[in-house]
Structure 1
Amino acid sequence: MIWSLQVLRFVAALMVVFLHAVQSAARISAVGVIPYEFELIGSAGVDIFFVISGVIMATVAPGRTPAEFIRARLLRIVPIYLLCSIPAIPIAAMGPGFGWRNILATVFLWPATDRMVAPALGAAWTLCFEMLFYAAVALLLLDRRWLYALLAIFAGAFLLRRVGPVFQFLGNPIIVEFMAGVVIARIGKVRWGIAMLPLGVCALFLAAWLMVIPNGYNELFLTGEQNIQRVAVLGIPAILIVYGTMHIQVRRSVWTYLGGASYSLYLVHPILLSGLAVIWVLYPVGPNVIVTIGIVASLVVSLRVYERIEKPMMARIKRAIPPAAASVEA
């Protein structure tokens, strides 16, 4: 485990929570004290996640069989995700257009049928790509020659994106961020590498100042309509931030613990914010109060979920499967 990236995972999750709390406040009340174009920096948390995923997969996958790798990843990601999807489904079903496609996307994390739809748990659109990444890594573990076929599939799907949702999903430009994570993991550390961290942060603020950060919704992210722009203005800074963070020496601490809880934070906060939104509609408060309460409540509740549900669940899973398959965590 690269402990500095574990801390960065918490920062990235907190960025996403901040963005969603801000968007909730904007729908209910107004934009808070921070200009909205700078609040959109929070969306870069997702891009940081994708780059970290590439780094981690390049680090932990070698030496494992495809079956070991896939089994470990599914057991790590899917159980708590499906558990969080249980309350998300009825919440999503109250909205317009929810149907069998959303159920399919929720259960199998495959969003592309005759049209693109997001899972019931909105933040899980990123997990659809994670599953795609895992499948690609498993094929490469089976035979490295799959690399050429996978690159050809991505390039072909990218060129055929207008044909339909499957091509939009498989050729989504955001996949480049995962590839970049693999590349920087292979590059390793260099003397000047840590300088990439402040450079990436400055690049994010510059993108906000120029007002070029995409502001879309889950289905749009899945189709990739804005994702060439996203990779340019958020993905490149995310790559710099992750690469710079890799050069920081970090020991296990409360910050790495929070990094371990980041997955629960990422999954739980949309459900919690949806519930709080009902209260805020009935009992209006200012946008800054909404954002503050949303972030604090998300942290408190997700840490309890991590301690009371996710960690015990993972412990039982690890006892039930061979250690070699259970040891992968990201």
Structure 2
Amino acid sequence: MGQPDTWFYQPIGGVDILFVIGGFIMWRTTLGKQQSPGAFFLRRFWRIVPLYWLFTAFMLLVMLIAPRLVQSARFDPWHVLASFAFIPYPNPATGTMEPLLIPGWTLNYIMFFYLLFSAALLIPEEKRLHAFSALLLSIVALQVLSPAPATPLSFYTSSIILEFLLGMWLCAWHLRSQWRPNATVCLVLLICACLAIGVLPHRWPDLPRILSLGLPAAIMLAAALGLERAGRVPRAPGIKLLASASYSLYLSHPLVLSAFGQLWRRIFPTNSDVLQWAFSLTAVAVCVLVAIVIYRTIERPLVTSRPLARALQAK
């Protein structure tokens, strides 16, 4: 199926929505709570890292045993080490700053954000948001010192890290405001934000990511919060389960899509628009089902056991 000549393009802002939500959650869950930077960082480490390391190790094993099955990576010991250590390093297969497990590039930002935010917990709460804002803005300002796009400096100074800040400020405003939202206005804002994410990065590719994707993502979250405050968000167990399994889905979907795509091509060697639509719908269902299985059998047991977090809570 060719790309249609249209004003609307495939949205690419899922990561940006994730970062805005991440900033919102970090501010909400730490507000009014006393916790040390070390305890905060180790809890977040335990929540994120084990499952990611498990998938990265699986990816490495497949690459070593059957390299023909891995199209997005080539073995490079430094790249492998950087992938496990959350250090941005050029992928030898693509040349971009992506780890062995491609979605892990976002986790490099998330771990960087956790590290900075854990240090910010040393700042008094009433000054923390302004101080942290100044820190992130200063880091992004260092972008002018970056000699090339594919360097650790250019990676960490990207405006995308300001999306965490948008989420934090949105949370601070949401908790303090007496806003009584109009559900219709919120729905219109939500639709407009979705359209903006689909249009802005393609029509104006030179716009900083914080403007083309981060700001619409923040508006989208604000509109969703308004709908929730207005009592217009349905409570559905299926949606809650999908949300719970979202991290497993995020990490596993490239591997599942690759395996399922190869299997599909063997079954259907020819191609057509109908088969492409059928593949897309079936692949989404398979990815979701696999993610739910992984969540229930691997991720949830890892998180609920949390021996490190329990030890920290006992202190």
Do these two structures clear the TM 0.5 threshold for a shared fold by scoring above it? yes
2:206 is the alignment partner of 1:235: no
Instruction: Report the Cα distance in structure 1 between the residues aligned to 2:163 and 2:106, rounded to whole angstroms.
Output: 12
Question: How has the CA–CA distance of structure 1 residues 197 and 126 changed in structure 2, closer, same or farther, with 3 Å as cutoff?
Answer: farther
Identify unmatched segments of 5+ residues in structure 2: none
Give the root-mean-square deviation of aligned CA atoms: 3.2
2:11 is the alignment partner of 1:47: no
How much has 1:184 moved relative to structure 2?
0.4
Instruction: Report the Cα distance in structure 1 between the residues aligned to 2:246 and 2:253, rounded to whole angstroms.
Output: 11
Match of 1:212 in 2: 202
Alignment of 1:260-299 (within 5 A): 260-284=244-268, 285=271, 286-299=275-288
How much has 1:90 moved relative to structure 2?
4.5
Match of 1:8 in 2: none
Structure index of larger Rg = 2
TM-score scaled by length of structure 2: 0.78
Is the 8 Å Cα contact of residues 276 and 294 (structure 1) preserved in structure 2?
yes
Moved more, 305-314 or 50-59: 305-314
Instruction: Report the Cα distance in structure 2 between the residues aligned to 1:67 and 1:211, rounded to whole angstroms.
Output: 38
2:40 is the alignment partner of 1:61: no
2:137 is the alignment partner of 1:161: no
Indicate which of 67, 76, 79 corresponds to 1:102. 79
Identify unmatched segments of 5+ residues in structure 1: 1-29, 215-225, 326-330
TM-score scaled by length of structure 1: 0.74
How much has 1:289 moved relative to structure 2?
1.4
Aligned length: 284
Question: How has the CA–CA distance of structure 1 residues 81 and 151 changed in structure 2, closer, same or farther, with 3 Å as cutoff?
Answer: closer
1:196-250 per-residue CA deviation (whole Å, 9 max, x = no partner) reads 4532432332553577268xxxxxxxxxxx6844332322211111112223055
How much has 1:49 moved relative to structure 2?
0.4
The amino acid across from 2:107 in the alignment is L
How much has 1:107 moved relative to structure 2?
0.2
Instruction: Report the Cα distance in structure 2 between the residues aligned to 1:156 and 1:39, rounded to whole angstroms.
Output: 30
Is the 8 Å Cα contact of residues 66 and 142 (structure 1) preserved in structure 2?
yes
**RCO higher in structure (CA 8 A, sep ≥6):** 1
How much has 1:263 moved relative to structure 2?
0.8
2:55 is the alignment partner of 1:84: yes
Instruction: Report the Cα distance in structure 2 between the residues aligned to 1:39 and 1:60, rounded to whole angstroms.
Output: 35
2:103 is the alignment partner of 1:119: no
Instruction: Report the Cα distance in structure 2 between the residues aligned to 1:299 and 1:169, rounded to whole angstroms.
Output: 30
Instruction: Report the Cα distance in structure 1 between the residues aligned to 2:224 and 2:42, rounded to whole angstroms.
Output: 29
Q: Secondary structure at the match of 2:180?
A: coil
Is the 8 Å Cα contact of residues 54 and 178 (structure 1) preserved in structure 2?
yes
Q: Secondary structure at the match of 1:212?
A: helix
Match of 2:295 in 1: 306
